[in-house]
Chains A and B, each alone.
Chain A
Amino acid sequence: MDALWVVIPAFNEAQVIADVVAGVRARYSNVIVVDDCSRDETGTNALRAGAVVLRHPLNLGQGAALETGIRYALSRGAEYIVTFDADGQHRVADIAVLLDRQHETGTDVVVGSRFLGAAHGMPPLRRIVLKLAVAFMRLTSGVPMSDAHNGFRLFTRRAAERIRIRQNRMAHASEIIEQIGSLGLSISEAPVTIVYTEYSLRKGQRLGNAVNIIWEMLLARLHK
């Protein structure tokens, strides 16, 4: 599907990025990897696997990498943009689930939910923190979600053109939901499967980051 672009932000993912890109490319031809100034061969491996590679000359964070990839996809005429993690947690088959959901509902954004689908190997503490994050997001944004911090999303062109990710690091997930609420965009959820591996758990964000995220969101609100 030429109108669909998959954006993969990546930082030091040389070990797995080629498999992830090849897996996506088996079904979707347009894959962008935003190499966020990796110190390893992430960019080269992604390029060899068939992705368009954009390299940040400075490490900015996942939120900034997503924004760069989304802007590039828009410039190439994307009608649908899917954000996909580089660590192999997401299943390529679920992209079709997000797309079907968008076609069924006509919503501007479809967010994958591991709590409507499945999360294999998720540590219990992470489950508790994610549930708390869901309750917090519901309180601050007013958008009812079952999974607030899932990096697996589908944006229509209309939504991608309006949402502007300014949170460079991990607070971008909350910021996106807040913007969906404040811009009056429609949102739906689709069940997806997240597979936690030893690698993805090691690479994933630390639970203590929750405090940083709240601080960054508070600062951003004051800074508006």
Chain B
Amino acid sequence: MIIQWVLSLGLVLCLFYAFMQRGKSKLVSFAIAATSIAGIYFVLFPEETNELAKWMGVGRGADLVFYCWIVISLIVSVNLQFKILNLQEMTTELTRELALRAPREPQNNA
């Protein structure tokens, strides 16, 4: 089926991205790789998600995938927030340094 090929190709690209990221963060690289491999497997064998869902006590495979997607999205979102905080800290320090280097003194400082 076409959708299986499209999804598999997308997930293979994710796997490639995980490989490229291994130098920056081993944990993130591993998480992306593991998620991509699991995704490829379930795209190729969709009935397996039903089996896994039953085993985990979730009604349908589609529900299980949906719940996992929510959790992964939250983790990605928090990770992005941390990256934004790091950038914000750098911007703040740079802005502060510029302000501290150029104080304007009043003419008649009594």
Residues of A within 8 A of B (CB): 29, 34, 43, 47-58, 60, 64, 67-68, 71-72, 75, 166, 168, 219-220, 222-223
Count contacts between A and B, CB distance < 8 Å: 63
Q: Contact mask B94-106 → A, CB, 8 Å, 1/0?
A: 0110111011111
Q: Decide if A71 touches B96 in the complex (CB within 8 Å).
A: yes
Q: Decide if A52 touches B92 in the complex (CB within 8 Å).
A: no
> How many interface residues does chain B have, given as a range?
20 to 34
Known: A50-B109, A60-B92, A219-B81. A55 touches B100 (CB 8 A): no
- Residues of chain B within 8 A of A223, CB atoms compared: 82, 85
In angstroms, Cα B106 to Cα A220, docked, is 38
Known: A60-B92, A166-B89. A50 touches B99 (CB 8 A): no
Closest 8 CB pairs of A and B: A53-B104, A54-B99, A50-B106, A58-B95, A68-B96, A56-B95, A56-B99, A54-B103
29 A-B Cβ contacts within 8 A?
A: A29-B109, A47-B104, A48-B106, A49-B106, A50-B109, A52-B104, A52-B106, A53-B104, A54-B103, A55-B99, A56-B95, A56-B99, A57-B98, A58-B95, A60-B91, A60-B95, A64-B92, A64-B95, A64-B96, A68-B96, A68-B99, A68-B100, A71-B100, A168-B92, A219-B82, A220-B85, A222-B82, A223-B82, A223-B85
- Residues of chain A within 8 A of B91, CB atoms compared: 58, 60
Q: Does B4 contact A (CB under 8 A)?
A: no
In angstroms, Cα B102 to Cα A55, docked, is 8
**Which B-chain residue is minimally distant from A69 (CB atoms)?**
B99
In angstroms, Cα B110 to Cα A30, docked, is 9
